[in-house]
């Protein structure tokens, strides 16, 4: 009904208005409003790396979009948010409610794979858009890909490709995995094991822990008994930080090296450089990369009192690109907006010049970081050395290996 109303209004529109060099027809934006939903973890183990910071990032994108338009935006913009509690059924129910009752046009963040995979098909069926920043599994751009989805910030292939390869090159040639027992953990273990093997290393085994977990002692002891040089942590959030702390308590480190396969600047800040120093990790953003990232991150810090993670930066970037596309096309109809998003390069500090690939993958550079030692760190958030820039063409799964049904081979 929402889209039908929009089309009827467009037929009766007498004309359009020209704002900042772009022609708009307000009648084409349904109800005269664009509504964006931030569906995230507001209270659980991923709330630091996403959560309230993702809501703030979306609000900052709206502020900057309005500034670009010099305040002449011919449609209202609403941001709504909710806690999906990292549960797929809760995420699906809230998404359907937002789409069908509240006329939400786009949902972003979706910080776990389970929530992303639950919401994507609903958005596709109802012709709405999802821009995923927080979830990681490559299923999102492979078997479960949809026309109306973009996987914006990172995935398990890029994490494995960056960190796994680097650690093997540093001599970490035997691995044992400590894996969160759900789709994300399984995907991260699988992708990293493939990289380790291809790089000349060997996987000695793995153990899976409940998600979320608190006591990792028995799993760490199994990893320790394996004799592997590297224990790959195929988990995230407080599961990862608790694993690292408990590994230190049980004397697992420094005898065996830990590889945090998905770590965020918030995790390293929580652990401190004394515990995390020397660890390699792969991310697609760091606040201190250049002048543009520092400027935006300072604005974020002033409001949140924490530096942004790559998830926060990704939410900002995705929302801004989406709003620009709505403005350029003069409509919030999903397929029209998605077509413009795909053909137009991203223009911001997070992904300058990046484009969206046919499978929904945003093709941007990734970075290999190494955590600084306490002596090297000049402040609480001065945490990383940039060891390598991984070009987009190397960071992400090649399209030739895609299992996305949208890809014609």
CATH number of the domain enclosing 25: 3.40.50.2300
Strand partners, 81: 38
Band (pLDDT 50/70/90 cuts) for residue 27 is: very low
Domains: count for the chain: 2
Mean pLDDT of 356-370: 96
So what's the pLDDT on residue 18?
32
For residue 138, pLDDT over 90 is answered with yes
Q: Are 42 and 121 in the same domain?
A: yes
The CA-to-CA distance between both ends of the chain, in Å, stands at: 37
Cβ neighbours for 330, distance < 8 A, ≥ 6 positions apart? 16, 22, 23, 24, 25, 28, 29
In this prediction, residue 409 carries a pLDDT of: 61
Task: Report the C-alpha dihedral over residues 170, 175, 181, 184, rounded to 10 degrees.
Answer: 40
Q: What is the reported pLDDT for 22?
A: 43
* Residue 104 in domain: yes
Percent of the chain past pLDDT 70, that is, above it, reads 93
- Please check the confidence at residue 14 and state whether its pLDDT lies above 60: no
402 is a domain residue: no
Mean pLDDT confidence for 72-100: 97
The predicted pLDDT at position 312 comes to 98
Q: Are residues 47 and 12 in the same domain?
A: yes
CA distance 178 to 175: 10
Q: Does the pLDDT of residue 10 top 60, yes or no? A: no
Compute the distance between CA of residue 369 and CA of residue 274 in angstroms, rounded to an integer: 16
Convert the pLDDT of each residue in 241-257 to its tens digit: 999 999 988 888 778 98
pLDDT number for residue 129: 98
Alpha carbons 110 and 115: distance in angstroms, whole number: 6
Residues in CB range of 384: below 8 A, 6 or more apart: 265, 268, 286, 288, 369, 370, 371, 372
Distance CA 236, CA 56 (A): 22
Q: What is the CA angle 224-159-154, rounded to 5?
A: 140
Q: Is position 404 within any domain?
A: no
Query: Pairing state of beta strands 106-109 and 129-132?
Result: parallel
> Does residue 230 lie within any of the structural domains?
yes
Separation CA 190–CA 186 (nearest Å): 6
- pLDDT of 28 reads 87
Question: Do 144 and 182 fall within a single domain?
Answer: no
Q: Which of 321, 324, 360 is closest to 123 using CA atoms?
A: 360
Q: Give dist(CA 16, CA 364) in Å, integer.
A: 35
Domain annotation covers residue 403: no
- Given a cut of 90, whether residue 148 has pLDDT beyond it is yes
Same domain membership, residue 178 and residue 144: no
Q: Considering only CA atoms, which of 130, 136, 63, 113 is closest in space to residue 284? A: 136
Is the per-residue pLDDT at 207 higher than 60? yes
Model pLDDT, residue 288: 98
Whether residue 401 lies inside any domain: the answer is: no
Over residues 103-114, the pLDDT tens digits come to 999 999 999 999
Considering the domain architecture, whether residues 129 and 249 belong to the same structural domain is answered as no
Contact between residue 91 and residue 130 where contact means Cβ atoms under 8 Å apart = no
Q: Are residues 77 and 54 in the same domain?
A: yes
Residues 187 and 274 in one domain: yes
Could you report the per-residue pLDDT of 378-407, keeping only the tens digit for each? Answer: 999 999 999 999 999 999 999 999 999 999
Position 15 pLDDT exceeds 50: no
Residues 34 and 171 in one domain: no
Is pLDDT above 80 for 36? yes
Looking at the structure, do residues 78 and 167 belong to the same domain, yes or no?
no
**Residue 250 has what pLDDT?**
86
267 and 383 housed in the same domain: yes
Looking at the structure, do residues 117 and 204 belong to the same domain, yes or no?
no
Where residue 20 falls among pLDDT bands split at 50, 70, 90? very low
Q: Given the structure tokens 């290996």, which residue do they identify? A: 401
Q: Residue 358 — φ and ψ, nearest 5°?
A: -55, -30
pTM value is 0.89
Average pLDDT, the chain: 91
46 within domain boundaries = yes
312-323 tens-digit pLDDT? 999 999 999 999
* Alpha-carbon span 63 to 305, nearest angstrom: 19
Residue, of 280 and 203, whose pLDDT is higher:
203
> Would the pLDDT of 11 be above 50?
no
Alpha-carbon torsion, ordered 213, 218, 223, 226, to 10 deg: -160
In a domain, 253, yes or no: yes
Boundaries of domain holding 207: 157-283+365-396
pLDDT of residue 190: 93
Does 224 have pLDDT greater than 90?
yes
Q: Is pLDDT of 1 > 80?
A: no
Same domain for 36 and 130: yes
């Amino acid at each position: 009904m929402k889209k039908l109303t929009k089309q009827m209004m467009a037929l009766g529109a007498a004309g359009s208005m020209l704002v900042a060099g772009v022609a708009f027809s307000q009648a084409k934006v349904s109800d005269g409003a664009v509504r964006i939903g931030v569906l995230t973890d507001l209270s659980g183990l991923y709330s630091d790396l996403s959560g309230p910071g993702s809501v703030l990032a979306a609000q900052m994108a709206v502020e900057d979009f309005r500034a670009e338009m010099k305040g002449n935006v011919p449609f209202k913009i609403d941001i709504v948010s909710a806690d999906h509690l990292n549960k797929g059924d809760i995420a699906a129910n809230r998404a359907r409610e937002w789409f069908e009752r509240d006329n939400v046009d786009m949902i972003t963040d979706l910080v776990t794979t389970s929530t992303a995979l639950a919401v994507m098909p609903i958005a596709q069926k109802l012709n709405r858009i999802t821009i995923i920043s927080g979830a990681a599994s490559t299923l999102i751009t492979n078997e479960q890909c949809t026309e109306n989805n973009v996987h914006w910030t990172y995935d398990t292939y890029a994490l494995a490709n960056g960190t796994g390869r680097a650690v093997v090159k540093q001599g970490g040639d035997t691995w044992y995995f400590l894996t969160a027992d759900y789709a994300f953990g399984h995907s991260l273990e699988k992708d990293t094991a493939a990289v380790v093997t291809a790089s000349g290393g060997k996987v000695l085994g793995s153990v899976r822990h409940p998600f979320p977990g608190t006591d990792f002692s028995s799993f760490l002891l199994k990893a320790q008994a394996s004799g592997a040089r590297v224990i790959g942590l195929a988990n995230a959030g407080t599961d990862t930080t608790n694993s690292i702390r408990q590994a230190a308590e049980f004397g697992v480190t420094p005898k065996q090296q830990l590889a945090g396969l998905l770590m965020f600047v918030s995790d390293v800040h929580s652990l401190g450089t004394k515990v995390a120093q020397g660890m390699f990790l792969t991310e697609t953003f760091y606040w201190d990369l250049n002048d543009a990232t520092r400027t935006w991150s300072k604005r974020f810090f002033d409001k949140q009192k924490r530096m942004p993670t790559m998830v926060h930066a990704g939410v900002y970037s995705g929302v801004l690109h989406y709003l620009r596309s709505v403005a350029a096309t003069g409509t919030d109809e999903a397929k029209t907006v998605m077509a413009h998003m795909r053909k137009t390069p991203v223009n911001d500090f997070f992904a300058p010049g990046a484009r969206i690939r046919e499978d929904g993958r945003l093709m941007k550079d990734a970075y290999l970081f190494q955590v600084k030692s306490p002596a090297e760190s000049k402040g609480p958030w001065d945490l990383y050395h940039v060891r390598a820039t991984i070009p987009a063409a190397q960071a992400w799964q090649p399209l030739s290996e895609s299992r996305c049904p949208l890809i014609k081979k």
